[in-house]
């Protein structure tokens, strides 16, 4: 029945937005559905050029497994272009995968989602679609956004052959494991009213996802489930991070606490890794958005509850910078400090809302000289993040792809991202090149403590008592 539906449609899919979600998701769909034609469009020509790059070396997104799937599908049933209007007009089904950042100006600035790009997509679809088109909201949006999209689309129905059906199909992939998450999702959530469209979209996913994992709901439950899922995940991180400071004061160890509480399946082991605070493009904006929605509906207590998750996150980043300054005798002015890791988590080149940004800026404001290393992030991206926060001084920091160079002659090393290569560093040797008394601040607790003791260095590991016993030795 579902297979017949696909045949009847001879499906042409268009995806608007070739970013972290649109690109990988369409690569996986194209790979599992060779009989479906997938066109990914974006207004950003550099991104499209990146996806089309000949040697696959300048892909805009770094994800394990992405390149090999792209090699199998690109220019076969998967195409990238900037022909937005043309591909909309040819599509049976359109995924909207555009950005939905926090509003910078106007009503709700700093909290509400900016739906400018979603609206623009809806207007373009309304204008250029030719016949019946299924419009799938994949971007994360405030609950009731489908109503806005429907209103815009319905304006075009008068005197035309066009019809539209709007579905919500939020994406739950995490960066760094995007391909694995898309290949084997925990669930696929589809919300909508029109049974035929729901069945069609389900039939695409059911090519590789077990039917019991495909959940269908009404539109609003689907939209709200996405925001709620991110809020719960972020809340779990803020909860464990809030306990790190108490561990540091009392002698309890955060990993032991996390392990002890995580064995209770009602709490669960996942998402209990303490760190410098969550980063990434979504948790912050989605919590702000959820909190704003609650305020909009007059639910101030609920808004405050979720905003608290964000407040702890901001506090955690600030407390780490303050602690570093304090341990370096209250001043980092003109001291070289090595930063290991700038992406918001390991295995991605994404730096959006990375905790590294604020930690670095706090230290730069105090006059430190930073040497920054990251295996996948480069100078221009770091510069962009600093400039966006109005820090334009370029003489106080450098990027280097050479870890030894970054650490050499530094007073302190701050490990911010948990890249696997940092776990293999030989501290005994590296510490010899540092200025004494030297410090290591491990915000992710990835460095083996035995190595640090062996290296005879002062160190702080998040959620553990400070070890500065060696300060009088070196
Ligand atoms: P992104 O910024 O990486 O990509 C969005 C792309 O859309 C950009 O390349 C932009 O140029 C393009 N775009 C915007 N308006 C357009 C238009 N009118 N026509 C054509 N292209 C247009 O964003 P992302 O990280 O892929 O996130 C997209 C959405 O998915 C957001 O709502 C986000 O919250 C959600 N999401 C993201 C992730 C993630 O891990 N990044 C995971 C789940 C959900
Ligand atoms: C998150 C969710 O995990 C995805 O399900 C969701 O689809 C996505 O947001 C989204 O909507 O954008 P992502 O931000 O890519 O995915 O990555 P996470 O693995 O969730 O990590 C987010 C941040 O939390 C990172 O800075 C990470 O280092 C931090 N984190 C995560 C911790 O500090 N501790 C943990 O235990 C887990």
Residue 1 clears pLDDT 50, i.e. is over it: no
H or E element that contains 283: helix 283-296
Beta-strand pair 93-96/12-16? parallel
Q: How many domains does the chain have?
A: 2
* 3-state secondary structure labels for all residues of 315-348: HHHHHHHHHHHHHCCCCCCCCEEEEECCCCCCCC
Quick one: the chain helix, strand, coil %, rounded to 5? Answer: 45, 15, 40
Q: Determine if ligand 2 sits within 6 Å of the CB of residue 452.
A: no
Residues 8 and 34 in one domain: yes
Of 193, 217, 241, the one marking the end of a domain is 217
Residues 69/179, Cβ–Cβ less than 8 Å? yes
- 141 Cα: distance to centroid of ligand 1 (angstroms): 11
- Phi-psi category of 141—alpha, beta or left, where left has phi over 0 and alpha has psi -120 to 50? beta
Helix (H, G, I), strand (E, B) or coil at 39: strand
| 3 pLDDT higher than 60 | no
24 Cβ inside 6 Å of ligand 2: no
Tell me, what's the pLDDT at 198?
98
Which domain, by its residues, includes 423?
A: 218-474
321-371 pLDDT, tens digit each: 999 999 999 999 999 999 999 999 999 999 999 999 999 999 999 999 999
Q: Locate the ligand 1 atom nearest the alpha carbon of residue 170 and give its number.
A: 44
Q: How far is CA 417 from CA 189, 217, 262, 340, 353, in A?
A: 31, 37, 23, 7, 13
Q: Which residues line ligand 1 (CB under 6 A)?
A: 16-22, 41-44, 47, 84, 97-100, 117, 120-121, 139-140, 171, 173, 175, 281-282
Best probe residue, ligand 1, of 20, 24, 140, 187 (max atoms within 8 Å of C-beta): 20
Cross-strand partners of 137: 96, 168
Boundary (domain end) residue, out of 198, 217, 236: 217
The per-residue pLDDT for 8 is: 45
Q: Which ligand is nearest to the CA of 20?
A: 1
Q: How far is the CA of 285 from the centre of ligand 2 (A)?
A: 13
Between 328 and 3, residue with greater pLDDT = 328
Q: Please tell me whether the overall predicted TM-score, pTM, comes out greater than 0.75 for this model.
A: yes
Q: Are 128 and 89 in contact (CB under 8 A)?
A: yes
Looking at the structure, tell me whether residues 248 and 181 fall in a common domain: no
- Among the candidates 217, 244, 259, a domain finishes at 217
Q: What's 232's domain CATH number?
A: 3.40.50.720
Question: Average pLDDT of 186-195?
Answer: 98
Q: What ligand has the least distance to the C-alpha of 84?
A: 1
What percent of the chain lies above the pLDDT cut of 70?
97
Q: Is the CB of 117 under 6 A from ligand 2?
A: no
Pairing of strands 214-217, 188-191: parallel
Answer for the pair 389, 361: CB distance below 8 angstroms, yes or no: yes
- Are both 130 and 238 inside the same structural domain? no
At residue 250, the pLDDT reads 95
Catalytic one among 171, 223, 353, 418? Answer: 171
Nearest to 360 by CA among 279, 288, 284, 419: 279
Same domain, 235 and 303: yes
Q: In DSSP terms, which residues pair with 167 in a beta bridge?
A: 136
Ligand 2 close to Cβ of residue 233 (< 6 A)? yes
Q: Does residue 240 share a domain with residue 288?
A: yes
Q: For residue 270, what are its two tokens?
A: 């996942």
The 3-state DSSP class for residue 94 equals strand
The question of whether 171 is a catalytic residue gets the answer yes
Nearest CA residue ID for atom 21, ligand 1 = 42
Average pLDDT over residues 118-145: 96
| Phi/psi of residue 323, nearest 5 degrees | -65, -40
The Å distance, Cα 372 to ligand 1 centre, comes to 27
Q: Where are the alpha helices (DSSP H) in 144-215?
A: 145-154, 178-183, 195-205
**222 plus 204 within the same structural domain:** no
Check whether residue 207 and residue 234 sit in a common domain. no
Residue 10 above 90 pLDDT?
A: no
Residues 185 and 290 in one domain: no
Ligand nearest to the Cα of 351, by number: 2
Q: Known catalytic residue: 226?
A: yes
Do residue 224 and residue 283 come from a single domain? yes
Probe target for ligand 2 pocket from 140, 237, 243, with the most ligand atoms within 8 Å of CB: 237
State yes or no: is 294 an active-site residue: no
Instruction: Using the atom order of ligand 1, give the atom closest to the CA of residue 281.
Output: 41
Q: Which amino acid residue places its CA nearest to atom 19 of ligand 2?
A: 174
Map 448-474 to HEC letters: CHHHHHHCCCEEEECCCCCECHHHHCC
Q: Which of 103, 111, 226, 284 is catalytic?
A: 226
188: which strand partners?
A: 214
Q: Do 104 and 236 fall into the same domain?
A: no
Taking the alpha carbons at both ends of the chain, their separation in whole angstroms is: 74
Catalytic residue among 14, 33, 247, 282: 282
Are 139 and 227 found together in one domain? no
pLDDT value of residue 472: 38
- In this structure, the strands spanning 93-96 and 132-137 are parallel
Residue owning tokens 């792209």: 70
Q: Looking at the predicted structure, is the pLDDT value of residue 468 above 90?
A: no
Q: Which ligand is nearest to the CA of 181?
A: 2
Residues 12 and 39: beta-carbon distance below 8 Å: yes
Please give the Cα distance from 141 to 138 (Å, whole number): 8
Which residues does residue 217 pair with via DSSP β-bridges, in sequence order?
A: 191
Residue 266 Cα to ligand 2 middle (Å): 20
CA 457 to chain centre: 34
Max Cα-Cα span within the chain: 84
Q: Give the dihedral sign, CA 30/33/39/42.
A: negative
pLDDT, tens digit, 9 for 90 and up, residues 61-83: 989 999 999 999 999 999 999 99
Residue with CA nearest ligand 2 atom 14: 280
Contact 366, 360 (CB under 8 A): no
Clarify whether residues 208 and 237 are in a common domain: no
Separation of alpha carbons 156 and 161, rounded Å: 9
- Report pLDDT digits (tens) over 279-321: 999 999 999 999 999 999 999 999 999 999 999 999 999 999 9
Our answer on whether the CB atom of 278 is closer than 6 Å to any ligand 2 atom is yes
Residue nearest to atom 16 of ligand 2 (CA): 174
pLDDT, tens digit, 9 for 90 and up, residues 12-27: 999 999 999 999 999 9
């Amino acid at each position: 029945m579902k297979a017949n539906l696909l045949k009847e449609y001879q499906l042409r899919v268009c995806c608007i937005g070739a970013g972290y979600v649109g690109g990988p998701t369409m690569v996986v769909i194209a790979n599992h559905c060779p009989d479906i034609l997938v066109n990914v469009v974006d207004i950003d020509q550099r991104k499209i050029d990146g996806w089309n790059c000949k040697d696959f070396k300048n892909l805009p997104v770094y994800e394990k497994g992405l390149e090999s799937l792209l090699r199998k599908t690109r220019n076969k049933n998967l195409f990238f272009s900037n022909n937005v209007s043309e591909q909309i007009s040819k599509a049976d089904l359109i995924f909207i995968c555009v950005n939905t950042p926090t509003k910078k100006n106007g009503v709700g600035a700093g909290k509400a989602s900016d739906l400018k790009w979603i609206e623009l997509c809806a207007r373009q679809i309304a204008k250029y679609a030719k016949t019946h088109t299924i419009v799938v909201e994949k971007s994360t949006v405030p609950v009731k956004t489908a109503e806005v999209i429907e209103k815009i689309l319905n304006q075009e129905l008068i005197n035309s052959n066009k019809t539209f059906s709007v579905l919500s199909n939020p994406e739950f992939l995490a960066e760094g494991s995007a391909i694995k998450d898309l290949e084997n999702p925990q669930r696929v959530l589809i919300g909508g009213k029109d049974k035929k469209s729901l069945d069609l979209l389900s039939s695409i996913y059911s090519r590789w996802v077990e039917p019991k994992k495909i959940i269908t709901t009404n539109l609003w439950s689907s939209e709200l489930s996405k925001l709620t899922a991110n809020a719960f995940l972020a809340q779990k991180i803020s909860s464990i991070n809030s306990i790190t400071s108490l561990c540091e004061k009392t002698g309890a160890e955060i990993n032991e606490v996390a392990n002890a509480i995580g064995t209770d399946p009602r709490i669960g082991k996942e998402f209990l890794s303490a760190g410098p605070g969550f980063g990434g493009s979504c948790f912050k904006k989605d919590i702000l958005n959820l909190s704003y929605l609650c305020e909009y509906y007059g639910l101030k207590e609920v808004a405050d509850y979720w905003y608290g998750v964000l407040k702890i996150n901001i506090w955690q980043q600030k407390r780490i910078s303050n602690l570093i300054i304090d341990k370096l005798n209250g001043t980092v002015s003109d001291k070289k400090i090595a930063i290991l890791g700038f992406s918001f988590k390991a295995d991605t080149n994404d730096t959006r809302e990375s905790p590294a940004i604020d930690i670095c800026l706090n230290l730069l404001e105090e006059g430190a000289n930073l040497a920054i290393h990251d295996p996948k992030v480069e100078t221009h991206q770091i510069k962009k993040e600093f400039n966006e926060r109005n820090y334009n001084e370029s003489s106080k920091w450098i990027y280097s792809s050479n870890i030894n160079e970054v650490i050499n002659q530094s007073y302190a090393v701050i490990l911010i991202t948990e890249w696997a290569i940092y776990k293999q560093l030989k501290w005994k040797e590296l510490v010899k090149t540092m200025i004494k008394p030297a410090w290591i601040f491990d915000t992710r607790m990835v460095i083996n403590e035995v190595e640090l003791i062996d290296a005879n260095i002062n160190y702080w590991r998040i959620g553990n008592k400070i070890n500065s016993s060696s300060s009088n030795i070196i």
